Amino acid sequence: MSVAGESGNRAQQMREKAQKLTEAAERATDPQERQKLQEQARGLQEQIKQQGQPGESRSKGTGGGRNQ
C-alpha cells in the first residue's frame, strides 16, 4: 500500500472513532463523561485537520514563548 493510501486509511479510521466518541457523548448521562468524550472527539478531529494540511507544523504554538 502507498504512503498516501495508508494516510487516507488512518484518517478514515480516526474519523470513524471521532464519530463513535461523539455518539457516545450524546448517549452519556453523566455530564463529566459527556464532556470527556466530546473533548476526545474534538482532539481527533483536530488531528485529522492537521494531517490534511501539508506544510503546517503539528507542534504549532509550542515555541515556549521564545519568539522575541
pLDDT of amino acid 54: 61
**What is the reported pLDDT for 68?**
44
Whether this prediction's pTM lies above 0.85 is answered by: no
pLDDT at 58: 46
Give every CB contact of residue 38 below 8 A, 6+ residues apart in sequence: 21, 22, 25
User: Which region holds residue 3: left if phi is over 0, alpha if psi is between -120 and 50, else beta?
Assistant: alpha
pLDDT at 66: 47
Q: Which residue has the cell 461523539?
A: 22
Quick: pLDDT tens for 6-64: 778 888 899 999 999 999 999 999 999 999 999 999 999 999 898 876 654 444 444 44
